[in-house]
Copies of this chain bind each other. A is one copy, B any other.
Amino acid sequence: MSDQKNTSDTRERILDIAERLFMDNGYEATSMRAITSAAEVNLAAVNYHFGSKEALLCEVFRRRLTWLNHQRLQALDKLEAQAAGAPLKPSQILEAFFGTLLRMGEDPSLGGMTFLRLLGRTLTEPAEFIRTFFAGEYAQVIDRYKRALFRALPDVPKAEIVWRLHFMLGAMSYAIAGTDVLQVVTGCEVGDLAGEGGCDDPADTVLARRLAERLMPFLLGGLRAPLPQFKQQEPSSKTV
């Protein structure tokens, strides 16, 4: 029973607990003492294994995001191989990008809805180290998907596509964050989106699936919406 306890047990337990506490309270409002005591490890364990609180947050994301973005690139590779040079359909691209993410919400071993909520809530954090971390973690995948969308929508100005990708990311980010401060969704047939103190599994799996079913058509509708009337061409086009 002391098989691989050596190098991974404490680390992994810290990451799991930190993931949940950062999601519940946010980064700044979650103390090292809260993390280490909830994980039943020594206070110094985080600094020993990760170096600092900032590095811990980055590692919480890295262990999920590298896998996720690898999957996203593979999904796009597969689609483009099947298309044999032809442009992809926008729905395929969105499915590869957002579907791959949302399916993580159904699998607790990939973080489940806890990680999705944490991701959605952290994407709007203003802290510098978070933004640079995400920028690096997402650079490649965003670039690939942007180019795929450019090819899929050759008649839409590229700047417009970039804007709409931004809007789609926002709708997704807010939806998976599940804070719902305005109580729009809470109380409907849907049930609560948050489920703050619960376990991992019970209704989160079905919630993730319902969310995907509703979000994907919305995003596709937004992406393909009629262009604003003021668009004739891109004027100076400094995007050489």
Contacts and interface: CB of A to CB of B under 8 A. Distances in A.
Interface of A: 23-26, 28-29, 120-121, 123-127, 130-131, 134-135, 138-139, 142, 146, 158-160, 162-175, 177, 179-185, 188-190, 206, 213-228, 230, 234, 236-239
A29 to B, nearest CB: 5
Nearest to A185: B166
Given A135-B183, A182-B134, A225-B218, A167 B177 contact: no
Contacts of A236: 189
A157 to B, nearest CB: 9
Contact of A214 (B138, B139, B160, B188): B160
Contacts of A131: 179, 181
A226 B221 contact: yes
Nearest to A238: B189
A183 B169 CA distance: 11
A29 B183 CA distance: 26
Nearest to A158: B188
A173 B165 CA distance: 14
Contacts of A170: 170-175, 177
A135 B182 contact: yes
A158 B184 CA distance: 12
Contacts of A179: 123-126, 131
Given A28-B28, A167-B215, 11 more contacts: A25-B126, A124-B124, A130-B181, A142-B184, A159-B189, A169-B182, A170-B174, A170-B175, A171-B171, A189-B237, A218-B225
A199 to B, nearest CB: 18
7 contacts: A25-B126, A121-B126, A123-B182, A135-B181, A139-B183, A171-B222, A206-B239
